[in-house]
Chain A
Amino acid sequence: MTRKTSVNEIFKQSLAVFRWELRRSITPLVVYAVIAVFFIASLSSLALSPDTYDAREAAAVIFQSSSSVLVFILSTVFTIIFTLRSFGYLHNKRKADMFAPLPVKSYTLFFSKTASAFLLSVIPALFFLGIIILVSALMGHPDPGGIASLLVKIPLGAAACISFYGLIAICCGTSVNTVLTFLAICFAYPIAAKLVKNTIESFYYGITWGLYNDSFLLKALNPLAAYDGINVIYWLLFIAACIALSAVLIPRRKAERAQSHYAFRLPCYAVELLMTFILGMVLGLTMGGANLFGSAYPGFVFGFLLGGTAAFVICHLILFRGFGKMIKSLIYAGGLTALTFILMGVCCLTCNSFTSFVPEPGDVQSAGLISYNWDFTDEYGLKPSPSLIRDSAGDFTDKKDIDNIIKAHKSMAQLTRDGKLSKRFNGVLSRSLVSAISALINYDQSFSVAYKLNDGRIVTRYYENSYILSGAFTGGDSAYTDPYHYIESIKETPTYAKKYSFVASLNPEDIDRITLFAETETYITAAYELEGENAQRVLAAFRDDYFRVGEVSGVREISLILQGDDKRSENTRGDTAIYSIISNISNINSFNYNRHEYTINSSYTETIKVLKELGILNSNGKANPDSKYVYNYNSYIYDYDDEAYH
């Protein structure tokens, strides 16, 4: 018979444990505070010292970013310290002799220690972040965008890591085993998930699953990723699951398991399976790619068995200290291997029909195409997402536009049509390497197509430039230029301009200056600069014209102007005056300084009308050299050139 403990008693006991942990942590907390205060005080002093407003502004941003990074690092380091200290009682027999006889329920003790580790890690971080926000506000720059996100990231990351570590600590007999197992799962799981993702993307090139780079599935068992502050709901569920599993296991944990290697084998199986899968896949894909037995699939099977068996045996010997429990492990590993072989077999059989599929124009009700260039990677742009691509299927119903989209798609499908199976195996590993390198050119020159077929089905494809660069198929840059012509024709349509252009996503308030160049066929005749209300007037008129007419071709490359190259005149379409609007977007807070250049021709009637009203153009549409907005453009051109080339 066991007497029930009241909620009040549990609360009192939890508080007692927390107070004890707090008392024990005073020294590290003082160290934490001294470091944080020293750096925040130093950085804030430096931020206040500059004389000019701009310099103070820049210093304030540096203060905000560097001091918040410092608090983040301190928080991470002390989270590790407090977590290791909190769960040490599970791994030391003498500590078990101290804590187990205490009149506190085992789960109350465990969760009190978990909560203590969390609170001791997070509260100081939140406190110092609050101080940084306060100091920033006093400096007159209260924009705490980055800091505010840390208010979520730090508690979420700390809670995920502590709860996961606590769960593993229950399963392990020593702190060393706990740390190693925690790290093994944190690093092995994303690698395994990435291999699965890359396999799908390599075999089913064009599949829009590839866009889920931030998906929780890729980081599901890596609580360190919770510090990214995304997938919040998943991480909350993850934390809840860890706590629930801990609540089940902690009363069943035998105190005598302290200083033995494992109390529960759960993490052993997880590490063993992950390592078996990773090494099996790496060797399998390598041998499949090498057509080891004259065919890719048998090579993959052989390689997987070879690599998987080696990893399995080594892991088992390390984790189980011998061959004990081998049968149970073998059942799990065998199941994983069989499942991998079946799924890879399905991939091999079905991938060609997927990648070579392009609908016939007659089967298409409507279609859409989105090109992802650098506009889409800045803060104004849209990121490619499966829902965005799917929604684009209804954009174009005109036959000519649909034909252009199908042609762009077809040229990409041609790259994969004659691709051998072994290339797809190779593609998985090369893709893994390229994706790391191509992080900076992530969406550049990528595009998506979507169709709504007559039978109501939606077909979507996404083609990523980095994948072509990986050489997974026979094509390359030269082959990629083929769809580019069709893509451009779609991009110039008013429909595209309205939905996906930079101008469409632009917040007019972010434009602080508009520069206009009046050009003849051979040289720039005048330059004008507008700010404030007048700039907004021109911009509003330009937006109307842009959405109505679409983008028009014109002089886009400033380098040609500097060189006085006659190629510029080829793009003038015979207009008497071509006006180039260069919008300067200066986002002071993020230090982005982006310029977007557009060409205006006579079809931009609203814009020309406003420019006439402002006196920039004469009534005959020619540039007015006496306008009050004229400025010396030479230095501007050279500046632009410098930036364009660096």
Chain B
Amino acid sequence: MIQITNATKAFDATTAVDGMTLSVADGTVLGLVGSNGGGKSTLLRMLAGVYRADSGELTIDGESIFDNPAVKGQCFFVPDFPFFYNSGTLQNTAALYRDVYPNWSDEAFAHYCGVFPIDPKQKIINMSKGMQRQAALILALSTQPRYLFLDEIFDGLDPVIRLTLKRILIERVSDLGMTVIIASHNLRELEDLCERICLMHQGRLVVEHDVFELKSEFRKVQIGFGQIPEGNIFEGINIVNLWQNGNVFNLTIKGGEEDFMPRLQALNPAFVSALPLTLEEVFVSELGGIGYDPQNLGQ
């Protein structure tokens, strides 16, 4: 299990991760989402042992991660821009990982070289961005990590590869109990993959929730009136966001339909409909709640 306790990391005057506390159970997929500069990549680098926390603790199964080869041998980090040497091919880069990662599997390497359409003898530096990520994924999966940290991994991958990757990750999580943490702005992809989501803003954890629960917690409601009733018509309803266009209201409501629908029906609307929010809408809605929304940025 990954345990992050009150971890803080600052770069000069900027605090990238600020007192973060989080537990990630084995065999789960956690999505890290958040604003730009929210601290997602920094947190992944701390988990990968690139950065040492200024304070707090990051452990895997109770062991500190930083400069601990025994723990790092169970992890693999694919950064947002994976590095390869000019002369590096998949084959010769694999030689290094084969020597240092205890669980490296040549069978897995051969298997994933077949799954992803990459020539192991081709220079990686000459490949496209998406192919370089695939190369990094082949190496990552060949080390058979128990903990996989992926930063913006879907960037540059075509839909087929994205789907393939998701399938592989799900298989490995369900079959082998691998734990995956993915930092991404692509909420649509995370929605399909992650069981839990962490929302980070300015280095802090805003919300950590089960994806299904998070989505079901909010409803997007459209309600129209022939004649808008007098007074505070939505009193008692937990409205996160409201936008009015004539006699039609678009609402984001936190809570179950069984709670707010009877109240809305009681207003005798011309029509009313409620839909679940996408993860992206939840993301915007939550960040809007703490003042990070397009209107504020515009100001």
Q: Is the CB of A94 within 8 A of B50?
A: no
Given known contacts A97-B45, A98-B83, A104 and B100 CB-to-CB distance under 8 angstroms: yes
Is A506 in the interface zone, CB < 8 Å from B? no
Q: How far is the CB of A406 from chain B (nearest CB, A)?
A: 69
Which chain B residues border A563 with CB–CB below 8 Å? none
Pick the interface stretch among B71-79, B266-274, B283-291: B71-79
B241 in the interface, Cβ–Cβ < 8 Å?
Answer: no
A95 to B76, CA, bound (A): 15
- Which chain B residue has the least Cβ–Cβ distance from A94? B83
B155 to chain A, nearest CB (A): 15
A9 to B68, CA, bound (A): 12
Q: Shortest Cβ distance from A17 into chain B, in angstroms?
A: 8
Residues of A within 8 A of B100 (CB): 13, 16-17, 102-104
| Shortest CB distance B276–A (Å) | 37
- Which residues in B have their C-beta under 8 angstroms from that of A95? 83
Cβ–Cβ contact A256 & B51, under 8 A:
yes
CB of A328 within 8 A of chain B?
Answer: no
A615 to B69, CA, bound (A): 88
Q: Mark A9-27, 1 if CB is under 8 A from B, else 0.
A: 1001101110110011001
- A620 interfacial by beta-carbon distance below 8 Å: no
Residues of A within 8 A of B95 (CB): 19-20, 23
Residue-wise, chain A 77-117 has the 8 Å CB interface mask toward B (1 for contact) of: 00000000000000010111110111111100000000000
Bound CA–CA A74/B135 (angstroms): 36
Q: Does A507 contact B (CB under 8 A)?
A: no
- The A-contacting residues of B in range 38-79, CB under 8 angstroms, are 45, 48-52, 59, 62-64, 67-73, 75-77, 79
Q: For residue B148, give the distance in angstroms from its CB to the closest CB of chain A.
A: 11
**A: interface residue count bin:** 20 to 34
Question: Does the CB pair B76–A251 fall under 8 Å?
Answer: no
Known: A3-B63, A20-B99. A97 touches B69 (CB 8 A): no
For chain B, the bracket of interface size reads 35 or more
A263 → chain B closest CB, angstroms: 13
In angstroms, Cα B81 to Cα A92, docked, is 12
Q: Which residue of A lies closest to B97 (CB)?
A: A102
CB nearest to B86 among chain A residues: A24
Q: Are B92 and A105 in contact (CB under 8 A)?
A: no
Q: Are B49 and A105 in contact (CB under 8 A)?
A: no
Partner of A1, one of B63, B69, B82, B99: B63
B50 in contact with A20 (CB, 8 Å): no
B277 to chain A, nearest CB (A): 34
A254 at the interface (CB under 8 A from B): yes
B101 touches A103 (CB 8 A): yes
Contacts of B84 in A (CB 8 A): 98
In the complex formed, the residue of A with least CB distance to B96 is: A20
- Determine whether B102 belongs to the interface, using a CB cutoff of 8 Å to chain A: yes
Q: Does B243 belong to the interface (CB within 8 Å)?
A: no
Q: Which of A1-48 contact B (CB under 8 A)?
A: 1-3, 5, 9, 12-13, 15-17, 19-20, 23-24, 27
Q: Which A residues touch B87, using CB under 8 A?
A: 24, 27
Min CB gap B37→A, angstroms: 14
Tell me if B83 and A1 are in contact (CB < 8 A): no
Inter-chain contact B83/A97, CB cutoff 8 Å: yes
A27 to B86, CA, bound (A): 12
4 tightest CB-CB pairs across the interface, nearest first? A16-B99, A103-B73, A94-B83, A103-B72
B positions within 8 Å CB-CB of A: 11, 45, 48-52, 59, 62-64, 67-73, 75-77, 79, 81-85, 87, 92, 95-96, 99-102
**15 A-B pairs whose Cβ atoms sit less than 8 Å apart in the complex:** A1-B62, A3-B63, A12-B99, A19-B95, A94-B83, A95-B83, A97-B45, A97-B50, A97-B77, A97-B81, A97-B83, A100-B48, A101-B75, A103-B72, A251-B67
| A2-B67, A16-B96, A102-B100 given; 4 more Cβ-contact pairs under 8 Å | A94-B79, A96-B50, A102-B72, A103-B71
